[in-house]
Structure 1
Amino acid sequence: MKAFIIDDEHANREVIQIMLRKYFPGIEIIGEADNPKTFLNSPSLQQSTDLLFLDILMPEKTGFDLLNQLSSRSFEVILVTGFEEFALQAFEHSVIDYVLKPIDKDRFCSAVEKAEKRISERKLVQSVKTQLDQAKIAVIKNNKTIYIEASGIAYMVGESGGYTTIFCKNGESYLLSKSLSAMENESSEIPFLIRVNQSVIINMEDIVSADKGGSGYVGLRTNQFEVFLPRRKKREVLQQIEAYWKFR
């Protein structure tokens, strides 16, 4: 695990480094800065960081300014600040924890342990997903068996007579002489493929919108396909989608 520290006061950065080296020797400190600019202007540094220790009130830019300017992030954030009144705003930015200065050892260790757990879970999910992205499904086209990557599937639609049509992200489609239930069983170990109603299996990676009100719909990028969510299944499907994207 790799950590980066941003705080305008050298003494505070030093305290964090000392505590990490003493209590979490497995965490590599890859750098520090006295303002957010260095981190903000380096996408490679952002990608290398697993855990960011971030002060809030600093000259020029605040810690919240930094978080607002990052459209997405793959690292966890622990805010380390002397001001407790920013706690609510902090959690609105989905930080993993909020530690007050002067830093209490037990509170600091608790926050880092929480971050370690979340990061380990994310990396495990990513590792499994990478393996499953390589999974293939056999289809027949022009009397030939073709193996298509599961990650390239956008959605499957069950047809009458026990058939299923697979629609791919690249615009290709395939008609299989298998029922949707059979396809659901075959893809049960692939986490991004889920059945959302009686007739449709979708790839959650292709989702662009979700309507939680009323009956509920999920919109896909491919073919701008909209999937109806039956009322009895809507909550379950939306929870599956939320759980999947939690670690993306």
Structure 2
Amino acid sequence: MNVYIIDDEQANREILQILIQRYYPEIRIIGESEKLDVFLNSTNLQQQTDLLFLDILMPDSTGFDLLNQLANRTFEVILVTGFDEFAIQAFEYSVIDYVLKPIDKDRFCSAVEKAKKRVLEKQILESAKSQLEIHAKIAVIKNKRTHYIESSDVSYMIGKSGGYTTIFCKNGDFYILSRSLNSVQNECFEIPYLIRASQSVIINLDDIVTCEQGGSGYIGLKTNDFEVFRIKTKFWGLSINLR
């Protein structure tokens, strides 16, 4: 986790550095400054920072001035100040915690633990999103060339005997894979809108245009030429027919 410190008093910055180095040696201090402008004018610093320790009252500005100009920040903030009257206003800015000077060690550690948990949660979410992007395209070979199909362009897939799968796209194109439907599903398991409707069919939920209730009902899937395909299977208690 990368930390940046903003406080107009050098002694306060040094205290924060000592506390971080003593209790959280794994945390990297990437910089410090006595003015807001250094951090405000550096996009690179903002992108690198996971946690900002920020003083509120400074000679020519306040920490709130910085937060007002960085409304879409991606880093967490711990406000460190000698004045308790700003606490309510502070949390209107969605800061992770508010620590009073002189800094109590236990209070400091409590605030850092909150920040570490939040940063870890965001890292896990970003990792999951990255994995989803990796699986967002399906590689197929047609006419001796590899094509990468956007998963959102898929209308439905049908598994055939012998370990083959046909992918039908919304624009009317289709591709035959020498892979089983199970194999394709394993590749796309993190894509929430591609759903296994039956043993032999995967459908794109975004491509559903009709859904009739009852044992004889249908789900209609639409391609760009507005044809409706009907899949006959059991899907969440619905009967679906493909023709």
TM-score (norm 2): 0.62
Structure 1 counterpart SS, 2:148: strand
CA apart distance, 1:62: 1.1
- In proportion to residue count, which structure has more helix? 1
Task: Indicate how the Cα distance of structure 1 residues 56 and 194 shifts in structure 2: closer, same or farther if over 3 A, else same.
Answer: farther
Task: Indicate how the Cα distance of structure 1 residues 141 and 67 shifts in structure 2: closer, same or farther if over 3 A, else same.
Answer: farther
Instruction: Quote the Cα distance in structure 2 between the aligned partners of 1:175 and 1:164.
Output: 6
Aligned partners of 2:193 and 2:205 also within 8 Å: no
Residue correspondences, number: 184
Alignment of 1:1-248 (within 5 A): 1-135=1-135, 136-137=137-138, 146-150=147-151, 153=152, 173=171, 187-190=188-191, 193=192, 200=206
- For structure 2, the 5+ residue unaligned runs are 157-166, 176-181, 195-203, 208-243
CA apart distance, 1:194: 5.3
Structure 1 runs (4+) greater than 2 angstroms displaced: 137-142, 144-150, 155-158, 163-166, 173-177, 182-188, 198-201
Give the number of the structure whose alpha-carbon radius of gyration is greater. 2
Q: Quick one: percent identity of the two aligned structures? A: 60
CA RMSD of aligned residues (A): 3.4
Task: Indicate how the Cα distance of structure 1 residues 72 and 176 shifts in structure 2: closer, same or farther if over 3 A, else same.
Answer: farther
TM-score (norm 1): 0.61
Instruction: Quote the Cα distance in structure 1 between the aligned partners of 2:2 and 2:193.
Output: 34
Instruction: Quote the Cα distance in structure 1 between the aligned partners of 2:131 and 2:172.
Output: 24
Task: Indicate how the Cα distance of structure 1 residues 174 and 139 shifts in structure 2: closer, same or farther if over 3 A, else same.
Answer: farther
Aligned partners of 1:134 and 1:149 also within 8 Å: no
CA apart distance, 1:10: 1.1
Residue matched to 1:208: none
Instruction: Quote the Cα distance in structure 2 between the aligned partners of 1:58 and 1:75.
Output: 21
Residue matched to 1:204: none
Instruction: Quote the Cα distance in structure 1 between the aligned partners of 2:154 and 2:83.
Output: 52
Please tell me the residue identity of whatever aligns with 1:57: L
Instruction: Quote the Cα distance in structure 2 between the aligned partners of 1:25 and 1:115.
Output: 15
CA apart distance, 1:91: 1.6
Instruction: Quote the Cα distance in structure 1 between the aligned partners of 2:62 and 2:169.
Output: 51
Structure 1 counterpart SS, 2:129: helix
